[in-house]
Structure 1
Amino acid sequence: MININFKANYKILHFTNEIGKYMAGGIATYIDQLYKHHTEDTGFVHFYDDEILTDIRIESYPGIKDILSVSYKEIGRLKEINFQIAIVHFYGLSFIAEEEILKNKKLVYVVHSVPATEPYAIEDPFGGNYQIQKDFETLSYRADAIICVLEAEKEKLKSLYPELENKIYVIHNGMEFDSADSIKRNVKPTRRNFGFIGRLDYRKGLLECIKAFKKIDGELHIACDNQDPFYLSAILNYIEAAEMQNKIHFYGWCHGERKKAFLNSLDALIIPSLYEPFGYVVLEAINAKTPVITSRNGGISEIIGEYKYTFDPYQEGELEKAIKTFQEDTVEEIEKEMEKLYKRKELFTAQKMVEKYTDLFNSLL
């Protein structure tokens, strides 16, 4: 274990597999916001696979205190940690619910996304992934409280496990926004540069997005990881077969200042997710004053409200139509839509998120 000014006792401990630059998706962004606003009685335990991460770098964490870095091979030592409430952020950490570790302490499970397939069948929502189902149910049933990040995810969880309803709470994810006056951004009369940023996961809808660009006068810039080589191979094969090499550009994973620069380079960010439980990237785009063209499935609709440039990812041709509408609309029309998004960000501040977490934790003690 690597102790980064981690104390002997905490009131609250967050257990996560993502934090700082050790990230796979939006959970790291969320954890970093919690860390930025955390109090002295709150700590963070980061789990990692030492066969993949052979070296842990302290500078890759969001700070230099209240962090414990633990290899999965060291989970037996967790019984040495003293805390009152465990907050678990990933179903793969279901071992936290074991009596040897948790004992009589309180457990809060944050469901960032019900790990079902997309779309899912009600009779087998996990698509035969029984270990995932077991881990998810272990945490869900043992938890004293379950937090869903949006109403849409709460409704999904209730539909699968109605018996859990009484302990499900909704606390919107939040982030600290830059001052609107500090960001200067103009909508261009001609709009051809579009972007995608996210994990390489079929549920993010990247292949469908690329197919839509076959008939679009524009280019798609992609910032993603390469964690699914089979999906990446299918994407690259399509690009080659469709002779779209000059329209599709890959940039690798973007984080921090590089992500901001990527968003600033775009005329619009496209979010083609088949289902999105929250969508931190929407908030990040709003913060950068970058227009979005987004799927309205899942929780994104709760973030964007009555915003114009949306589509149903399951309806063929809707994404292409939304992009063309964005290209053809006047600068004034787009600026009007962006004003709607700016107003929505006040609903998703880090301060509001932290206050609601604090109220819930206090109610459990």
Structure 2
Amino acid sequence: MRPISYSRATDTATAVAAVSADPTSDFLAGGTTEIDLLRQNVLHPRRLVDINGLPLTGIETTPEGGLRIGALARMSEVAASPTVRERFPLISQALELGASAQLRHMASMGGNLLQRARCSYYRDAVSPCNKRDPGTGCSAVEGFSRGHAVLGTSEHCIATHPSDVAVALMAVDARVHTLGPQGERAYEFDDFFLPPGDSPHREHPMEHGELITAIEVPAMPLARHSLYLKVRDRESYEFALVSVAAAVSVVDGTIADVRVALGGVATKPWRARRVEDFLIGARVNRGNFAQAARVELIEARPTRMNAFKIELAQRAVVRALETLTDGDGDGDGDGGVHGDAHGDGDGSGRSPA
């Protein structure tokens, strides 16, 4: 047994001060990841500061037509919001595919972004793992790695980022707002998630005691025509092997604008900028979609066990884009990647925050 003290914060400034003053303390929100890791002896905080009473639960429309989502808004509340469903369907879909109903009612939006890796070596509290114990090595590199990353990896870590909604938020240029010992900050979404490099234990640029207060989603008319596709081994209680968040605007059979992000294949939510650059101004057809997907995956670094993810990711990108542009294009073009991205479905995949 390890003693852990517990307190409830009455306001945001008090919560930040309490945690920042004690390097052995941590925030407690929905707890759907934190409690698991405490039980598994992976995390060892000596003090938990409960922030569930803080006024950070709002889901508000900005004057420009975007969203401001409080860090303590529950996943289920955001997914059910009529504004989110109308203006950003990819966010609602990612949330509903990201966890069971019970977990969605508990898990917070801020906590979802900060959830820790689902690598079994990280979570067994025994195996060498650079995320858990820096400098001990990465067991997955030569071990079981079927679900691990092929993009953004390093010799020190190949764990995938587990969040579904983070992939959707990456596609729509979200920003993360925080309050810490140095005051308020705002991070571009792509800068908020750090690649492993030689310090995989450092996943975010935040300092200890810095608290996510809100997620800002800018106005993006393009996102009204969007989707989140999740490919996994089974329809429920499973993380993504590959996922795609995509939004497309087509004018006269040509792609006027497009946003694509990938999940399940990278060490962070992966913005597929090569796909976007290739497709802007291109005709809508399967051949162009397939070529764009191949360009994105050209620098993938698979292991022997997860090399299948490269083709699976390409197929998933093609399927997502074809679904969004059905009836807008030229047909199959030059052929490209054919066949289904097997394993996807409409059930809920377990990705708690």
For the pair shown, the structure with the greater C-alpha radius of gyration is 1
TM-score of the two chains, using structure 2 as the length reference: 0.21
The structure showing larger relative contact order (alpha-carbon pairs under 8 Å, at least 6 residues apart) is 2
TM-score (norm 1): 0.21
Task: Flag the structure with higher helix content.
Answer: 1
